[in-house]
Chains A and B, each alone.
Chain A
Amino acid sequence: MRLGYVIGRITLSQQEATYSGCRLLLVQPFDRGQYEGAPVIPLAPGNSLVVYDNLGAGSGNVIGYIEGPEAGMPFPQPSPVDAFNAAIVDDASYSPPSA
């Protein structure tokens, strides 16, 4: 699982059966600076990705998303989902060693 900052939402017109009637979030992954509280630059050069969401996260939330085959586990049948929102983060305490 990794943390990411929700910067938008995606709506689909044509989609696979799994994606019908779902919420998709545009997420900018955190790098170490953002863990320490640096401001998030939406659409910074990097890898923003689309995450399947059924928890109701909105723009500005920090979420914990999971990538890979495990992201398709919660669905009844095998599904083409590779990024799944597992948690909306309320608070993160991050204190790396200073040395």
Chain B
Amino acid sequence: MIVARIDGMIVSTVCHPSMVGCRSAICQPIDESGRNEGQPILAIDPFSAGLHQRVLISTDGVSTRAHVRDPKSPLRNIIVAVLDDSGKEPT
């Protein structure tokens, strides 16, 4: 799984049927101190996390296919948790 920060979202009307109704967030993978790590990726967001919130992304397609209830869906990244921004750095 990847820790990432939500930096935006995309709007797409022409897409795979399993993506209809899903919110697609642009997520920037970050390291433990919050610095960018690699290029942004897109993930399905069932929790409607806010901008710049830290989230946990699962890159395994099984949980995504279960979420969108389509065994033939090509989707892969899905947000499985929203990290607690308690202001304290993770020890």
Chain A residues with CB under 8 Å of chain B are 1-3, 29-32, 35, 55-56, 64, 66, 68-71, 73-74, 84, 86-97
Contact = CB atoms under 8 A, between A and B. Distances in A.
Interface of B: 5, 7-16, 19, 24, 26, 28, 36, 39-43, 51-52, 61, 64-65, 71-77
Given A73-B61, A73-B74, A32 B12 contact: no
B10 A71 contact: no
A1 B75 contact: yes
Given A69-B61, A94-B8, A87 B14 contact: yes
B42 A84 contact: no
Nearest to B7: A96
